[in-house]
Structure 1
Amino acid sequence: MNFQHENNRIYTTDQDGTLLGEIVFPNVPDVADTVVVERTFVNPIMRGQGLAAQLVEQFYQYAKQQGLHVQLLCPYAKKAFDQNPDYQQLLDR
């Protein structure tokens, strides 16, 4: 899977440009180095194939590399962070 990064978003498309999945994480206003994971989207044709988990992993690697603190609104991301102790080091407490 080829993931693309752009302006607080990681996503993947098929060869025709159809969005297959994305994770969106805008900056928190007036809080330096903090983003909020608002949503993880997976196209219905890709559901059940582990794409959401891959998106969260891509986000985790990106956020860790960038030294970001993370807040979670997305229910899927909350569950993934709860289940992975490594991810929890990025949570804004």
Structure 2
Amino acid sequence: MEFTYEANRIYLADETGKMLAEVTFPDVSSKCVNINHTFVDESLGGQGIASKLVEAAASQLRKQGKRAFTSCSYAAKWFSKHSDYLDVFAGNPDAN
């Protein structure tokens, strides 16, 4: 299983092009994104794909020197369980 990387999106599609999983993280500023969506097709449920997607996004952002807000509840929960990526986590934009 190999993810496809785009500027603000990482995804997995099958051989027909059907979307099976994705994480999106549009730019908020030049140094910050908002991880706003994760999706995993039910056919891949229970395999940890969402976690792998968010980790891939966090790793990519770290390499780019960017930080991430999370309006996606799954991503927020993921960061709370992965303290080794807290340097990338900028918080929840709705937590005021």
Same fold (TM over 0.5): yes
Q: CA deviation at 1:90?
A: 0.9
Instruction: State the partner residue of 1:17.
Output: 17
Report the TM-score, using the length of structure 2 for normalisation: 0.89
2: CA distance between counterparts of 1:42 and 1:71?
A: 20
Instruction: State the partner residue of 2:27.
Output: 27
Letter in 2 for 1:26: P
Of all paired residues, the percent bearing the same amino acid is 37
Higher strand share: 2
Instruction: State the partner residue of 2:94.
Output: none
After TM superposition, the structure 1 = structure 2 runs for residues 1-93 of structure 1, keeping only pairs within 5 Å, are 1-28=1-28, 31-92=29-90
Letter in 2 for 1:3: F
1: CA distance between counterparts of 2:20 and 2:90?
A: 29
Task: Map Cα deviations across residues 25-60 of structure 1 (whole Å, 9 max, x no partner).
Answer: 0001xx321000001100111111111011011111
RMSD, aligned CA = 1.1
Q: Which consecutive unaligned segments of at least 5 residues does structure 1 have? A: none
Q: Which consecutive unaligned segments of at least 5 residues does structure 2 have? A: 92-96
Q: How many residues align?
A: 91
1: CA distance between counterparts of 2:43 and 2:15?
A: 14
Write out the 4+ residue segments of structure 1 that deviate beyond 6 Å after TM superposition.
none
